[in-house]
Amino acid sequence: MNKISHTLGLLALMLLLGACNTSTIKTTALTPAVVETAAIDESELLDIGIAVFDPGLDDIPSDREELTFGDVRLAETQYSAYLLAQTLQSTGNWGVVRVVPGDLSYYDLALRGTIVQSDGETMRLQVQVSDVTGKVWIDKEYEEVVSKFTYDPRLRRNEDSFQGLYNRIANDILKYRQDRVSAGELRNIRTIAKLQFARSFAPQAFDQYLGQKRNGILEVKRLPAADDPLLSRIETIRERDYLYVDTLQDYYGNFVRQMQGPYTDFRRVSYEEVMKYDKLRAQARRNMVLGVASILGGLAATQSSSAAVNYAAFGGLFGGGFLIKDAFNKRDEAQMQAETLAELGNSMGSDVAPHTIELDERVVTLTGSVDAQYAQWREILADIYANEIGTP
């Protein structure tokens, strides 16, 4: 019995010491975005298309499900994509950077992201960047953990709380281009992007100019004539497409501006509630273990013939039961904190106004979600192209 009691005592002491000595150090330091000092020829400036991020709701760890709210996460998919686009554009290291609701296969660079975690304290994004040839530049998870001072109104900067994370992504993309992509390859990427867009409208005419290597990477087999009238028409269509996508940037920008105030408040409260939630979970786990240890110690003590030891044993059983009950109570309290966050998250959302566009001979109105409107727009572009070349 003495051996069992000694072991259980050591276990309880280790748990208590661990709870007292564990700490996490966080920083408010901001990684700056790198701006290339050397002049870049316009023919080598790559345009970047960024897809609205995947919310990652299907892969949330079980211990974070209670802290993740679908309404907030869906709003974050547009918010984070737009902030990353703005970060990349502001460096001047690239051509035009756009958030694109549709196909990215004809952009010089395509960036796709998944929100792995976002709870006010920690943001984790899985980011993949590939060029139009199919070559992957980056496939990496980024994480940023902020301190409570990030949300102190006396110290708050104009930047997003996790701006450092977006800056690091931008820096990595630039470093890859500087270290591993030649000027000739940059020009080749732009050429393939142009032909890829043309092929999306006229595959019969432009399939012949592109091929795939054994590794699946796209390559130019030959170039169309510089004065090819079909390519000229396609270029006009492409400019119209870009102009429409540029109007969508106004929508994303307005959405982010409207979201910024309540979202910052949500993150601040979320940070506080996440801290409470994690603390309560830790206390619940500790009390559960100590409660079980106390009950086991009490059971061991009941084997003794000493009356005094038996009284102590029943006290141990009672105390252990109380600690386990307290652990369940703290879990309930933690759940209440999660529900508080859910109520905050339900207020997030936005509506998309219809777009009315004047074309050469008609006026069209696009309705529905951003994705639906862009799909309608691509159909209209296909109709315009077909009418111009006389194809039904």
386 residue type, one letter: A
The percentage of residues in the chain with a pLDDT greater than 90, rounded to a whole number, is: 39
Handedness of CA 236, 242, 246, 247 (dihedral sign): positive
The neighbour count for residue 227, using CB atoms within 10 Å, is 7
Helix H or strand E encompassing 187: helix 183-201
For residues 283 and 24, what is the distance between their CA atoms, to the nearest angstrom? 17
270-298 residue pLDDT tens: 777 777 766 666 565 555 555 555 555 55
**Residue 221 in 3-state DSSP?**
coil
Answer yes or no: is pLDDT of 91 > 60: yes
**How confident is residue 25, by pLDDT bands cut at 50, 70 and 90?**
very low
**How confident is residue 199, by pLDDT bands cut at 50, 70 and 90?**
very high
Answer yes or no: is pLDDT of 249 > 90: yes
Of residues 298 and 113, more confidently modeled = 113
| Residue 352: burial class (beta carbons within 10 Å; 0-12, 13-18, 19+) | middle
The residue among 376, 389, 380 whose CA lies nearest residue 360 is 380
DSSP 368: S
Q: What is the pLDDT of residue 58?
A: 86
Q: What is the pLDDT of residue 361?
A: 72
Q: What is the pLDDT of residue 237?
A: 92
Mean pLDDT along residues 200-221: 93
Q: What is the pLDDT of residue 350?
A: 44
Backbone conformation region of residue 228, classed left if phi is above 0, alpha if psi is from -120 to 50, else beta: beta
Q: Beta 363-366 vs 355-358: how paired, if at all?
A: antiparallel
Q: What is the pLDDT of residue 295?
A: 52
3-13 residue pLDDT tens: 555 554 555 45
For residues 391 and 203, what is the distance between their CA atoms, to the nearest angstrom? 13
Q: How far is CA 172 from CA 82, 185, 380, in A?
A: 18, 18, 37
**How confident is residue 338, by pLDDT bands cut at 50, 70 and 90?**
very low
Mean pLDDT along residues 247-260: 85
For residues 173 and 180, what is the distance between their CA atoms, to the nearest angstrom? 11
Q: What does the domain layout of the chain look like in residue ranges?
A: 42-264, 355-389
Beta bridge partners of 143: 124
**Contact, 53 vs 76, CB < 8 A?**
yes
Q: How far is CA 49 from CA 52, 81, 106, 175, 382, in A?
A: 10, 10, 9, 18, 21
Q: What is the pLDDT of residue 261?
A: 78
**How confident is residue 339, by pLDDT bands cut at 50, 70 and 90?**
low
Q: What is the pLDDT of residue 329?
A: 56
Give the lowest-confidence range in 122-126, 156-160, 166-170, 215-219: 156-160
Q: What is the gyration radius of the CA atoms in the chain, in angstroms? A: 29
3 residue type, one letter: K
Q: What is the pLDDT of residue 370?
A: 83
DSSP 227: T
As a whole number, the mean pLDDT across the chain is 79
**Tokens (6 digits) for 335:** 């759940």
Handedness of CA 184, 186, 191, 196 (dihedral sign): positive
**Contact, 98 vs 246, CB < 8 A?**
yes
Going through the chain in order, the beta strands assigned E by DSSP cover 48-51, 97-100, 109-118, 122-131, 136-145, 210-212, 218-220, 355-358, 363-366
Helix then strand then coil, in percent of the chain rounded to 5, is 60, 15, 25
The residue among 374, 389, 273, 382 whose CA lies nearest residue 51 is 374
340-387 residue pLDDT tens: 544 544 544 445 677 788 877 788 898 888 888 889 999 999 888 888
The residue among 264, 72, 271 whose CA lies nearest residue 157 is 264
Of residues 108 and 250, more confidently modeled = 108
Q: What is the pTM of this model?
A: 0.76
For residues 172 and 137, what is the distance between their CA atoms, to the nearest angstrom? 9
**Contact, 47 vs 254, CB < 8 A?**
no
Query: Tokens 């060029």 appear where?
Result: 131
DSSP 242: H
Q: What is the pLDDT of residue 26?
A: 57
What length does the chain have?
392
The neighbour count for residue 36, using CB atoms within 10 Å, is 13
Answer yes or no: is pLDDT of 135 > 60: yes
**Residue 35 in 3-state DSSP?**
coil
**Contact, 71 vs 129, CB < 8 A?**
no
